[in-house]
Chains A and B, each alone.
Chain A
Amino acid sequence: MNVLRRLRNPVLFNEWKMRMRSNRSPWLILFYLLVMGSMTLLAVFFMTNGGSYYNPGETRELFMLLSMMQLGMIGFVVPGLTAGVISGERERQTLSILLTTNVSATRLILGKWLASLSFMTFLVFATIPLYAIVFLYGGVSPLQLVKVFGFYVVTMFAAGSIGVLMSTLIKRTGIATVVTYALAFGIAIGTSVLAEIIREFIRYQNRLNQVASSPMPIWPDLLHSLNPVLAMLNIFGEGPYGSLRGLVNRQSLWANIDPFWFYCIIYGALTVVCLLLAIYFIQPVRGRLRKTAAEEQ
């Protein structure tokens, strides 16, 4: 009973209540499903040549298209949903009141984070019927579907935790939102850019040392697999990591790492770090730094 009481998070329940009560939520759900449904049906229309015939071999492509669209929507919506959770409280002038209650910084941050992500999770899972179109024709394994939805959850949690951290550190919701978008896209695209720079640098060194025939190490490509788009392609065996896998030494430890799990571990770690920092920085009186939330307001 005590454990259950400890797990109860009034901030989370309150956010759920307020979010689902607002007029905006049903419109947002409608808009999201309308966009996803329209795009899917449009893709089906073109794939069936205007409804004349359907090539079952193209099911996989439809599934990939649907998954990519969903990923794009997540990238577009999640920073906006999360970057205002703490700064919004601050702007509404309710944060200082909350901080004088028994609610711990951990419960406050986790409550806000989970509340905003649970709505996005709801949106994502509301699109499952669209995936039924794909299953109608076959060509995609249930494991791939599970992996794709697992991938969404991991990506949402990570992008959401960046949003919550920025919302904690930055006073204004507008600025926090812009910074969150910049960071989320920076991390996603930056990993690929960094991977290419490293690879070119290795090539340059090999040329200098005249060892051009030596195989390219695979670890820079692991950075590539941190790019959500490429990581999504990896799930379908289409990513750069998968194609390069055959070119490297199979004895290498890196070559045996599943890029999906690598992505999950790295983004999971990013989520934990961002949340811990947010929990630390939201505390009004912080042990060693002696800097306070009220000073920042």
Chain B
Amino acid sequence: MIQIRNLCKSYGKMQALKGLTMDIEKGTVFGFVGPNGAGKSTTMSILATLLAPTSGKAYVGGYEVTSHPKEVRKLIGYMPDFFGVYDNLTAEEYLDFYGANYDIPSAQRKQIIPQLLDLVNLSHKRDAYVDSLSRGMKQRLGLARSLVHNPEVLILDEPASGLDPRARIELREILKELRDMGKTIIISSHILPELAEMCDVIGVIEEGNLVAFGRVDEIYAKMQEQRVLRIRLTGRIEEAMTRLREMPVITSVTREGSWVVANFSGQDEQQVELLRELAVAGFPVAAFNETVGDLEDIFLEITKGVGS
């Protein structure tokens, strides 16, 4: 449904995208994750025909976004990371205005709008002025607005930002419904766990480069291979750190007081061997713990925090 080929975007000397390439299949919920300023919104703006790439191509439904923006706009529903409101418009009028902008006949709009308000649980706010709605309600209304012309692709730029936990859960439920309806959804966030629950595929972007891409379970399994070992020693700490650094299964070693924290990339047998080696060498090991990286750790490990 979406193909991105070697996409580059520069703002003066700053390169926001550096040859981004990826494919998103029809019906996929794709989570685009990365720290602030990584290039997520730039990519989404290009897909939404709001920005021209410096080089490279992006296709939505087979249409190239810069040469066929009209066709692309019919296929996409775009929701930016902010919500602009018109004072003096009710929720129903707001949707009606955007429906008219998509050239949907008045009679058809009258049928669609109640359905959309129902989908986003805002039927009771139909006659309420938009600026009187809470942030969560506005986000849901924005989602309804992006669905008014029944697009095949939804581009949602950080839809959950600034929402309270309840509003996040409500939004997640609506997105699940949309996934069941067969929509292709691109959703961005700088919080990986937020996306992992609702996405099929995840792409991690940092400094304009795609640093990880794949199914959520694949990425999760791959990253679980990376374990963190926490070893507490009562003495000879520096010597133990040097010894650990020499081991091929240890990728990095740091010290936190009397604790040595080592990133371990081996199997269980190698972990047993490591502990035995430390004991045989006479290091005073008081505690030995293994922690499996959660999604936050995975994200930090992948992105290394360079962009933030």
Instruction: Judge whether A101 and B52 touch: CB under 8 Å.
Output: no
Query: Please, which residues of chain A bring their CB within 8 A of the CB of B74?
Result: 102
Tell yes or no: A205 within 8 A of B by CB. no
B83 nearest CB across to chain A (Å): 7
Instruction: Judge whether B52 and A285 touch: CB under 8 Å.
Output: yes
Contacting residues of chain B (54-79) with chain A, CB-CB under 8 angstroms = 54, 65-66, 69-70, 73-74, 76, 78
- In the complex, which range does the number of interface residues on chain B fall in? 20 to 34
Query: Please, which residues of chain A bring their CB within 8 A of the CB of B78?
Result: 96-97, 100
Rounded to whole angstroms, the CA-CA distance of A5 and B104 in the bound complex is: 10
Tell yes or no: B169 within 8 A of A by CB. no
B116 nearest CB across to chain A (Å): 15
Instruction: Judge whether A290 and B52 touch: CB under 8 Å.
Output: yes
Residue interface bits B112-152, CB-to-A below 8 A is 1, else 0: 00000000000000000000000000000000010001000
Instruction: Judge whether A96 and B80 touch: CB under 8 Å.
Output: yes
Tell yes or no: A92 within 8 A of B by CB. yes
Instruction: Judge whether A292 and B52 touch: CB under 8 Å.
Output: yes
Contact of B86 among A13, A94, A101 (CB under 8 A): A94
Q: Are A93 and B82 CB-contacts (below 8 A) given A22-B87, A101-B101, A285-B66?
A: yes
Instruction: Judge whether A10 and B76 touch: CB under 8 Å.
Output: no
Tell yes or no: B267 within 8 A of A by CB. no
Q: Are A96 and B73 CB-contacts (below 8 A) given A22-B88, A285-B66?
A: no
Tell yes or no: A294 within 8 A of B by CB. yes
Q: Are A93 and B103 CB-contacts (below 8 A) given A21-B88, A292-B52, A295-B11?
A: no
Query: Please, which residues of chain A bring their CB within 8 A of the CB of B102?
Result: 101-102
Contacting residues of chain B (21-58) with chain A, CB-CB under 8 angstroms = 45, 48-52, 54
Instruction: Judge whether B51 and A100 touch: CB under 8 Å.
Output: no
Tell yes or no: B84 within 8 A of A by CB. yes
Instruction: Judge whether B50 and A100 touch: CB under 8 Å.
Output: yes
The closest CB in chain A to the CB of B93 belongs to A17
The closest CB in chain A to the CB of B73 belongs to A100
Tell yes or no: A99 within 8 A of B by CB. yes
Instruction: Judge whether B84 and A93 touch: CB under 8 Å.
Output: yes
> How many A residues have CB within 8 A of the partner chain?
32
Instruction: Judge whether A96 and B50 touch: CB under 8 Å.
Output: yes
Query: Please, which residues of chain A bring their CB within 8 A of the CB of B103?
Result: 5, 102
Contact of A14 among B50, B73, B97, B149 (CB under 8 A): B97
Tell yes or no: B198 within 8 A of A by CB. no
Tell yes or no: B98 within 8 A of A by CB. yes
Tell yes or no: B85 within 8 A of A by CB. yes
Instruction: Judge whether B86 and A92 touch: CB under 8 Å.
Output: yes
Query: Please, which residues of chain A bring their CB within 8 A of the CB of B89?
Result: 14, 17-18
Tell yes or no: B100 within 8 A of A by CB. yes
Query: Please, which residues of chain A bring their CB within 8 A of the CB of B76?
Result: 100
Contact of B51 among A14, A92, A285 (CB under 8 A): A285
Tell yes or no: A103 within 8 A of B by CB. yes
Rounded to whole angstroms, the CA-CA distance of A102 and B11 in the bound complex is: 27
Contact of B98 among A8, A101, A295 (CB under 8 A): A101
Contact of B84 among A11, A18, A92, A284 (CB under 8 A): A92
B113 nearest CB across to chain A (Å): 14
Rounded to whole angstroms, the CA-CA distance of A14 and B84 in the bound complex is: 15
Instruction: Judge whether B51 and A97 touch: CB under 8 Å.
Output: no
The closest CB in chain A to the CB of B78 belongs to A100
Contacting residues of chain B (237-279) with chain A, CB-CB under 8 angstroms = none
Instruction: Judge whether B50 and A294 touch: CB under 8 Å.
Output: yes
Interface residues of A (CB under 8 A from B): 5, 8, 10-11, 13-14, 17-18, 21-22, 89, 92-103, 284-286, 290-295
Chain A to chain B contacts (Cβ below 8 Å), 16 pairs? A13-B100, A18-B86, A18-B87, A18-B89, A22-B87, A94-B84, A94-B86, A96-B48, A97-B98, A100-B78, A102-B101, A102-B102, A284-B49, A292-B50, A293-B50, A295-B51
Having A10-B97, A22-B88, A285-B50, one finds 12 other A-B pairs with CB under 8 Å, namely: A8-B100, A18-B86, A18-B88, A22-B87, A93-B82, A93-B83, A100-B73, A102-B74, A284-B52, A285-B65, A290-B52, A293-B50
